[in-house]
Amino acid sequence: MMRKVLFFDIDGTLAIHGHIPESNQKALEALKEKGYDTFVCTGRAPYYAENLFGKLVSGIISCNGRYISYKSEKLYGVPFTQDEVDILKHKLDNLECGGLFVSDTFSTPYHLEGDVLTHVKKEYGEEHIKDEEGTYYTCDLFYDTLEKRDAMIEAFKGECVINDHGGTGSCDTSTLVFDKGHAIKYIIEHFSLTKEDAYAFGDGYNDQAMFREVGQRIAMGNGVDVLKEKATYITDTVDNEGIYKALKHYELL
């Protein structure tokens, strides 16, 4: 491994609604050719991220930090305990909201039906949505009114960071005990690197955890203001070669 490691959020950073712009694909391929290790860091499921980026990056931090793979092999995982799963379900019951409990190979819907369940199956692949119990690493949350979303954020305050997907009816969750930042810290220590060797690229609220553990913090032009305030460099938007321009700025390409 070279003495640099790069961490990329997916949605809004590397991809737009599951589509990877050509410039980002080429950038990842060029980094790989140069020998840099690259990781995608996402709230998405391990199987989703592996399918989308497995051939383009060295490793994947999924479930907002609670599952780490390197060269398609599990490196580390922090699953929910059964008590944590039960507490999540109890809160969803009280909020009258739904959830999607995510394991490494499939996800289990909870109080999801109709168009919402159809959309989830289409996005993740019907073969990955199963009505069975598993070892879960995160839970996506679903609401049908903005009032319920706000109540959800309040109910989980102090336990999770709720990353709302733009008022579209779903959120991903980042637990305070192990988030993207904890995963990055683990990787840096595992490979005997330093914070100055590490670069993080992001656009959302949950990417603040990544910025906490790296020396080079790149916010996308389409990112939230609170992330830009913590950035060492603000690049262009995801759909205007923001990744490529930042890599050129840091002379990595």
Task: Give me the pLDDT at residue 16, please.
Answer: 85
Rounded Cα distance between 3 and 170, Å, is 38
State both tokens at 19: 């589509």
Measure the CA–CA gap between 150 and 20, rounded to whole angstroms: 31
CA 48 to chain CA centroid, nearest Å: 11
| Fold agreement (5-78+178-249, 82-175) | no
pLDDT at position 177: 81
Predicted TM-score (pTM) of this structure: 0.87
Q: Rounded CA gap, 45 and 51, in Å?
A: 10
pLDDT recorded at residue 206 = 79
Return the beta strands (E) in the chain as ranges: 5-9, 37-41, 59-62, 67-70, 73-77, 98-102, 107-110, 138-142, 160-164, 170-175, 198-202, 216-219, 233-234
Average pLDDT of each block of 10 consecutive residues along the chain (253 residues)?
84 85 93 93 90 90 94 92 94 95 95 93 92 94 93 88 82 86 94 94 89 96 94 95 95 93
Topology of the domain covering 82-175: 3.30.1240
Q: Give the domain ranges of the chain.
A: 5-78+178-249, 82-175
Q: Taking the domain 5-78+178-249, which CATH number applies?
A: 3.40.50.1000
Asked if 207 and 200 count as a contact pair (C-beta separation under 8 A), the reply is yes
3-class secondary-structure state, position 15: strand
